[in-house]
């Protein structure tokens, strides 16, 4: 197990939509998309996008 989790967030830019992988330490901070250069705010909670596709049991 790795104690260092990674937060994945999608770039808000509609023309970019690159999935950014940042460490949890970046929560509450802003990172810059390496693809388009837009500033993305990393949310505190891991509820960035509510996926309608739940795990099918």
Q: How many CB atoms lie within 10 A of CB 14?
A: 6
Number of residues that bind Zn ion (CB under 5 A): 7
Stretch that binds Zn ion, among 7-15, 22-30, 45-53 (CB under 5 A): 7-15
Subset of residues 13 to 52 that bind Zn ion, contact rule: CB under 5 A: 13, 16, 18, 33, 35-36
Sign of the torsion formed by the C-alpha atoms of 35, 37, 38 and 44? positive
Residue 43 to residue 27: CA distance in whole angstroms = 6
The smaller minimum CB distance to Zn ion, of residues 4 and 34, is found at 34
**What are the residues binding Zn ion (CB under 5 A)?**
11, 13, 16, 18, 33, 35-36
């Amino acid at each position: 197990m790795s104690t260092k989790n990674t937060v994945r967030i999608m770039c808000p830019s509609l023309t970019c939509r690159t999935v950014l992988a940042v460490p949890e330490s970046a929560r509450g901070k802003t990172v810059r998309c390496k693809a388009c250069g837009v500033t993305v705010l990393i949310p505190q909670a891991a509820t960035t996008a509510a996926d309608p596709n739940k795990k099918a049991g």
